[in-house]
Structure 1
Amino acid sequence: MNAVETRILELRTELDQHNYRYHVLDEPSIPDAEYDRLFHELKALEEQHPELVTSDSPTQRVGSVALSAFSQVRHEIPMLSLGNAFDETTMREFDRRVTEGLDLPMGDLLGGGAAVEYSCEPKLDGLAVSLLYQDGMLVRGATRGDGTTGEDISVNVRTVRNIPLKLQGSGWPPLLEVRGEVYMSKAGFERLNATQLEAGGKTFANPRNAAAGSLRQLDSRITANRPLEFCCYGIGQVTSDIADTHIGNLKQLKAWGMPISRELKLAHGIDECLDYYRDIGERRDSLPYEIDGVVFKVNSIASQRELGFRAREPRWAIAHKFPASEELTELLDVEFQVGRTGAVTPVARLKPVKVAGVTVANATLHNMDEVARLGLMIGDTVIIRRAGDVIPQVVQVVTERRPDNARPVEVPQQCPVCGSHVERTQLIKRSKGRETVSEGAVYRCVGRLACGAQLKQAIIHFVSRRAMDIEGLGEKSVEQLVDEGLVGSPADLYALTFEQVVDLEGFAELSSRNLLAAIVDSKKPSLARFIYALGIPDVGEETAKVLARSLGSLERVQAALPHVLTYLPDVGLEVAHEIHSFFEDPHNRQVIKDLLRHGLQIQDQGELSAEFSASTTLGGFLDKLHIPSVGPGGAQKLADKFGSLEAVMDADWLDMRQALPEKQANAVREFFAIAANREQALAAEQQLRDFGMHWQSEKKVVEGLPEAGHTWVLTGSLELMSRDVAKDKLESLGAKVAGSVSAKTHCVVAGPGAGSKLTKANELGLKVLDEQAFVEFLTGHGVAL
């Protein structure tokens, strides 16, 4: 694994934890600006290396999962987050992209370009919510959650006094989803904390935490007594268009009784946007609520649709954040935490200091390279930045204040959790038959699942919704099971008894039986879901699907050699080695055996896919061996000249020179003179034969998957299967499943409650199936329900 891949894994792990604390626990551990920096670093690395992007990356995704205490709500139109800007240059770059995307004249230094109209409003620091109105009546409230699935907080939002239970006036669409922010004013926040102190209760760190914690109370009577307010900032699904501009939508919503920002303004061009940002920044302290920036949106709805979306954010909107807040404090100590992959990460323990209204006592240091970059020593005075008002960051050491007794930060030799040895990672770069080894920035505990920290995180991933989907096993429950010695690997979950579970804190008879039932229900996962649940490094949901769809069986996935795996789409040699190494590990193989012994029945197993089996040629195989100086053209010349791998390996000098120039001929002979290279090549060729995909094997007729090249969209509620299951079945037929309807959409499946997607499909004259017709379509293509 090279340095880039290692850094990407570190960033994903860290961002996932920050997302969980911020969105699920309402206990943010670092400031917004530091989160934004990590996110943009990850985003930049993935843009430079698109082959490393996985579906479970924080960039592909928004926020974190919904709390299990609330029922879940699936957003018909995902509630995406916004891209961020921190300076004028980024804002002007955003305006340039918008202008180019709309094919408008750019102008020059003297002007003359088209000025895009933008809506401008403060970015409130609260909790994003969705309000669903049917025939003008409020029927549901939900949090954003992970952007696709949120929490049903309908009872609580009804207690927020400025949210209308019934829309005023007339003319509203039969179905209307209003989106906005629930927040707490500065005065309301002060009153709440004063009341909490008088009652001996918990005080809140800031208005955002107070609003989020109040809105997510299981007892709605508590929510009703909190000074919450709502401000609308847009719409989600709607049965018919309201206006042709964003501001027009908001003004109409206001006429129907929906509160909107009093600071809402229309700007003509980027210069007026920047003027608005500076004006709000100067008035920020005098506003009655907390804000952390300004949101700018292309005002024209038609232009918004033309610009569209990236994976996790719209191209037509951006949040211009305010500068970070900084303070001086003392570094009291550096402790080390252990993550799921065994990464031993330094964490700064600080002398508590208030930064932007929040007391900061801890800060992440990422890795030891960051410690070295900062020149950090324990006892130093450091500058802490709480950028974007959320995540704390050590940005600089004030070396002139360093005390005489300052001591260096040292990586522990033993894991602080399990006592196992801690070693520095090695980065192995494989290219053209050579391996280059260098030291990585990450230190790892070698205890693997014998280390409690790694075991807990591995099991939390294993039981998660997109993995084995065992409902009722949250983080605290997993920690208890591991701490009590009841679970030492994922397989042990399937040996749990009622007597063991019912004695755990937080479990009663009913919840224990429900958990055991959920464990039993998880025993028939699809092959793709099972592969993802194993937590193989660099294998997200999409790669797991590719492995399952192409190789067809767990046995073949376990046996596949790296060079064979590289025939899979989007699987490079580094990822192939990660997959192979995982299944070569004796402990991992034993866990899989134990899982199968406990009755797991892997579904959707079958033959090697026809496309995969037909993907090999001798020339392509030789190219994949990465012989130095020999590219695809040279590899094909060898194949044409010799016709077999054995003939290439045993060719004499004169024959080799007839096929290739001298330098390449020498490289081929030197490569195969190394016994390990010959053995690896012969082993990979034999596996191609065993799998039935050798270039001399009899080929299946490749007709292609029936829906290859077709884009489908799912909308509304499906009664016979979940949307995830429907998506999997369509993908098994080669279809791509998208989240929005466009002229390129092949077909729309519309269940009950289908909204704007169905409306747009009808306007475009697209093919639409109800659920019954969809089921008939699947069964007609031999897809089992």
Structure 2
Amino acid sequence: MAELTAQIEQAREEYYVRDAPTLADAEYDRLERELRELEAENPQLARVDSPTQTVGGQAAPGFAPVAHLERMMSLDNAFSLEEVDAWAARALDGLGAGAKAEFLCELKIDGLAIDLVYENGVLARGVTRGDGRVGEDVTANVRTIANVPERLGTPNPPAILEVRGEVFYPSAAFEELNDQRREAGLAEFANPRNTAAGSLRQKDPAVTASRALAVYVHGLGAHDGLEAASQSAVYAQLQEWGLPTSPHWRVLQDLGAVRDFITDRGEHRHDVEHEIDGIVIKIDSFAQQRQLGATSRAPRWAIAYKYPPEEVTTKLLDIAVNVGRTGRVTPYGVMEPVKVAGSTVEMATLHNQFDVERKGVLIGDTIILRKAGDVIPEIVGPVEALRDGSERPFVMPEDCPACGTPIAPEKEGDKDWRCPNTKSCPAQVAGRVEHAASRGAFDIESLGEESAIALTDPDRRRPEALAALRAGHAVYLPIRSAEDLASPAFVVMKNGEESRGTDGVPMLRITEENQDLLPPPQHGVVTIGDNLFDLTPGDLEHVVVWQPLRRGGESTGDWQIVPSFWSRQIWRYYKTTSEWRLTKPSQPGKTTDLLMDQLEHAKEQPLWRVLVALSIRHVGPTAARSLATAYGSMDAIRAASLEELTGTDGVGPIIAEAVRDWFAVDWHGALVDAWAASGVRMADEVEEGFVRTLEGLTVVVTGGLEGFTRDGAKEAIIARGGKASGSVSKKTDYVVVGENAGSKADKAADLGLRILDEAGFEALLAGGPEAVGDAAEATETTEADEAAATEKD
């Protein structure tokens, strides 16, 4: 308990006073929760001034201490919906049998708490939270924040009004600030919260004024001259007086609606203007708040639900490099596994060596790791205060780790280094095969990253396994024949461990001493990609891959060799004859049969998907659709001049040059010819009487349509000469609105654009603007009438 207390107090000082936290929020929450549990189990050891009973930190040096008119409290946290339910049950129980309450739910802003005091309607001071009783006077800096009014917008202001809020750095402004710092060669700021705190605590208010800070107020302290019955009523009054209140709050009638609000906002937590880390839930009624009261540090009538952390700290064990399908050599961090945003992360990209230098990370650092929603994990930077001198810098390798070819920038000034062995570098071939099978290309679901590696580079992890052998670990090899059963290396494995019984799986245990039993090095059955559509199950029979051996979900340090596309032989021990017999030979797996079927089906995919699958730089689905629509066949695209390609709608000079350069490489043309010989369709069938009804028009489709998939709608638009856009703007000609349409439909209505339902979309495809002129005009008129009626009401 003493150790936890010291850690928490140190973390508070770094967070509140120095604006240089060394712990991620999730780690701080874990420590505080552990201390709270220990205090509950050992109440005789709990300190009166324990961090679980106090708020915030001390005032930072350089700012005058100021006492709050009314104490600023903290909030208790909930980390699950069940904990929210338990809090609500306690609150309702405290209100009396059969009591009901309305819940005000609002976004928990990830910023810096602020206390604003207005005297007779004029801003008198701005003070940080501090320890909840005394904070720092940052009035001069607060006055530079654009949305903080100097005077309240009322002729009859209250004599005293103390409001609490949160200073934050808007997400878009934060990205812009970091873009500017990148261009200036300066280190980027780690996150909006720390940047907001550091900006507010600048000694020079001019520096604060240069930062795009904003404030939302969300609570009351001392007040004289403000009467309201509820939190929601206060928000309405504060907004009327010109104080900035958040638009993201709702008053909800029951816990089911509260749960839905938490879930919905969690799914859209990056759609608002600021960072959030949870939802604050309050009893709306002030009378009920007073009835429930507070503990020594937090009100009983409110709780903060915390979303899974998106920013954590962990140890950077190493920086390795990965080779992508275009030959780009990318450094990535190898870290101690850590859970962030709901998933366990062990690796994160570092883009290039300049990115490593710019972020200032060293191998061995404690680092800040961020993973926002489904975004790829990102190493933000090091926690320099935790360095002990054992850290070392990253050095870019001179040779490609996959094929040994010397690597270098493609041209002078490039930040990215590449392996020039584009034809046969196993890592590049694996990347191209995986890309060809991706959803935006041939859409071969059974051919993912692991299968692509097994086809092209099955020995990729062999060096790691051999390193484990040298370190004293073992590699387990399946029995391949009856002769293996007589080997001294023969063992029986059960649940990942060697078993004394005979009811397990027979294996060979390979160590450094008998590693001659290991299978010889393998070469991929796909070496360039030209034979991808000619593969048979027989080609894949002997492909094996190397995998770490886990027990109970944990790594053991040992490795195993397993068949990738065929099943393992099944051997059974017969006690009556004291012998092992082969009861089920190896055979193609179900996923292998599925792969064969999907490869055959992929041959019939439209031309644009074939173009995407070729991994031509800059040619994604949009450019590929444009090329396929304009030329109709692979031969026509290959024959087109640079000028013709450049003039193609949706292509332009960069893509055109990339296409010409790609086809100028001899083995690229041979690859296309091989696929064509295997039966891959290289031309689109044109429907008889097909008319380009959407020539020059931009169409946006939002929401679900019964008769079209998302890709199908895009293809229908592009095939008729239109542009299928993903965003609504004044230049959009039509917006097709299906079921569960989101903000795009609202924006289209706001801009007065022509809106169609699915029937209108089908008419537009068939007959062009003339076919929907009246319907679109009617839609516009109806919306205009509704808007006018709403304004009149």
- TM-score, length-scaled by structure 1: 0.42
The structure number with the bigger radius of gyration is 2
TM-score by length of 2: 0.41
Say which structure is richer in helix: 1
Structure number with greater CO (CA < 8 Å, separation at least 6) is 1
